[in-house]
Structure 1
Amino acid sequence: MSTSILKRATCSVPTKTYSLWGIGALQRMPCLISNPVRQRSMHTTENTSARPMNPAPRENPAHELKLPRDTNVGRKRFSDFDLAGKVFVVTGGAQVYCLDRADHPDEGWQQAQERVAPEWGGSLHYRKQDVGDAEGLDKLIASIADENQGIDGVIAAAGVQHISPTVEYEAQEVAHMLSINYTGVFMTAKSAAKQMIKYKKRGSICLIASISGLKANRGLISPVYNSSKAAVIQLARNLAMEWSPIKKDGTGGIRVNCISPGHILTPMVKENFDEVPGLREEWENEIMMGRLAETQEFKGAALFLLSNASSYMTGNNLVIDGGHSSW
């Protein structure tokens, strides 16, 4: 069963968003080299016959992210965070299509729907979709893109947890967790990027990782979960390298970043507390702020990464953990 840390996230700006709860193209980068230079040996490496150059202006998406000249920024609050007129596939949001394995949405979805303000132009929808069904996922995201002439962003947040000593893991348990925590996120990003490339959208992809991908969780034996989140962080770097440059055919310009939350009071974490007595107190003592996070405390970070406010940010991992990793 997958869990989304952004389950109750809402957006306070007019936007068109599709949400994939529990789910979470590929083109080569252009070769950025100039004229050959004199060869020379460098220790044991191969000889170098070319030197890297800065991207050509066409390959720099920054100028395309600027607001129109007639936009009166002085009379518009937080214009860089404005998502008006864009289409997003997220795990919780404003105008949203929520996709999950369950036949019906849960209470959190209903609460998010109640917070949608008609005057902002938002709406909330629900679709049944399993992250493990890569073909179905791809078709559904494609249908969303075709309906709206593209997708502007996605948040891939699939994740399950299993607490067990390493020597007790069975191969199928490892494969199941990785199929959701890593492959599900991978395929979500891939399907979204395919549509961004098809419609030549300068999109933003946000992968939900965890501080568990950066360190071992004291008191919690979860080697597969932690390593799967480390893989997600590395995946973001590689996708950013591949998709961020703008190609000559106008595709690309897709930013990819991670959010690595600290310990959050999600249903999955609460189950961990039931399984490991004293774990909550131990975690709270290790956090500078002395408490665990609530899911709604990550809405702003998601909005930042999806909007023009982060237009020069790609391949990064945004750690939000209450100071846990700063000791």
Structure 2
Amino acid sequence: MSTLFSLAKRTIIITGGGRGVGLTLAHAITEFGGRAACLDIHPMATGDLPANATYSVCDVTNEESVKARFAEIRAESERCGSRVEGVVACAGIQQVTEALEYGVRDWRRMMEVNVLGAFLTAKHGAKILIDGETPGSVVLVASMSGRIANRGLNCSAYNTSKAAVLQMGRSLAQEWGKYGIRVNTLSPGYIRTNMTDTVLYENPDYYKTWMAGAMLGRLGVVDDFKGPAVYLLSDASRWMTGADLLVDGGHVASA
């Protein structure tokens, strides 16, 4: 293994790490020698955690919850001879609703989880890095939907929230570069997860629309994001900050 991609002796905190992409990224982190500290709102992970990973319940919209869990993870990692050197904000929700029918409560919930949750993850991760005088990497999971309006898919709140995450990444990179903290976003395209499978089950016609822009002839799977995430978290991307890594199978190029 190239040392550029090694995550040995590093702990990476993942919010939204109990299922889907977040849990897959936990496996990727441990495969490259790191420790994964997974946080999610659910009582337990929905899949198998890798051997070198932990799981705790955390509400990313509650700052005290985030602050407390991050402090616990920092202390535990130091006891294990590791240190927190990265965070991944992967917690997110989706809702397909006509804009004219979108309720204020639902809109606010989307912004709280997808935007505020990402910010609190980044903020308290950066505080740990700065306090320990540790250069590190913050990865915010955005979406290609922050760049485009998905054809035939009415999810204005979700798209707006992910556009906000893209701008958040650029803004935080500008602020925290002086501390040696890199901040980048990772933007998936259409991926098969429990969340998207629910959307496809309720709206089977979406599959044809999504496939129309699939340059590689398929939708993404969660394993497609292992390599890009490890790249952003490791020294392989040490000269990269304020950028968005688009992993979408060509959908944006064909939009």
Which TM-score applies when normalising by structure 1?
0.69
Corresponding residue for residue 202 of structure 1: 135
1:1-327 matches, cutoff 5 A = 77-90=1-14, 91=17, 92=23, 93=26, 94=30, 95-106=35-46, 108=47, 110=48, 112-113=49-50, 116=51, 123-149=52-78, 150-245=83-178, 252-327=179-254
What secondary structure, in the 3-state scheme, does the structure 2 residue paired with 1:244 have? helix
More helix by share: 2
Contact 2:63–2:120 (CA under 8 A) maintained in structure 1: yes
Q: Which residue of 2 aligns with 1:69?
A: none
The one-letter code matched in structure 2 to 1:89 is I
> Larger relative contact order (C-alpha < 8 A, sep ≥ 6)?
1
Cα contact 1:286–1:324 (8 A) shared by 2: yes
Give the AA of the match of 1:137.
Answer: V
| Maintained 8 Å contact 2:213/2:251 | yes
Displacement after TM superposition at 1:139 (Å): 1.3
Return 5+ residue gaps in structure 1 as ranges: 1-76, 117-122, 246-251
Whole-angstrom distance in 1 between the partners of 2:37 and 2:170: 27
Give a deviation string over 1:153-209, Cα, whole Å, max 9, x none: 011011111111111111111101100010001100001001111111101000000
Contact persistence 2:40–2:91 (CA under 8 A): no
Question: What's the CA shift string for 1:68-100, capped at 9, x where partnerless?
Answer: xxxxxxxxx411101111121123322322222
1:274 Cα deviation from its structure 2 partner: 1.8
Distance in structure 2 (CA, Å) of the matches to 1:279 and 1:206? 29
Q: Provide the C-alpha distance between the structure 1 equivalents of 2:180 and 2:131, rounded to a whole number of angstroms.
A: 13
Write out per-residue CA displacement over residues 121-154 of structure 1, whole angstroms, 9 at most, x where no aligned residue.
xx12211112122211111102212333442001
Report the structure number with the largest CA radius of gyration.
1
- Secondary structure (helix, strand or coil) at the match of 2:84 reads coil
SS at match of 1:299: helix
* Conservation of the 8 A alpha-carbon contact between 2:215 and 2:249: yes
Q: Distance in 2 between matches of 1:219 and 1:274?
A: 15
Letter of the structure 2 residue corresponding to residue 173 of structure 1: D
- Aligned partner of 1:257: which letter? N
- CA distance, structure 1, for counterparts of residue 140 and residue 7 of structure 2: 19
| Alignment match, 1:61 | none
**Count, aligned residues:** 234
Give ranges in structure 2 of 5+ residues lacking alignment. Answer: 18-22
Deviations 1:214-241 (A, max 9, x none): 0001110000000100000000000000
State the superposition RMSD in angstroms.
1.2
Equivalent pair of 2:173/2:181 in contact (CA under 8 Å): yes
1:36 is aligned to none
Distance 2:155 2:174 in 1: 30
Checking the alignment, whether the CA contact within 8 Å between 1:288 and 1:322 is kept in structure 2 is: yes
* Aligned-partner residue type, residue 148 of structure 1: S
Amino acid in the other structure paired with 2:41? R
Identity of paired residues, percent? Answer: 39
1:243-275 per-position Cα deviation (integer Å, ceiling 9, x unaligned): 012xxxxxx100000000100001111111122
Structure with higher strand content: 2
In structure 2, how many angstroms separate the alpha carbons of the residues matched to 1:162 and 1:289?
27
Aligned-pair CA distance for 1:318: 0.4
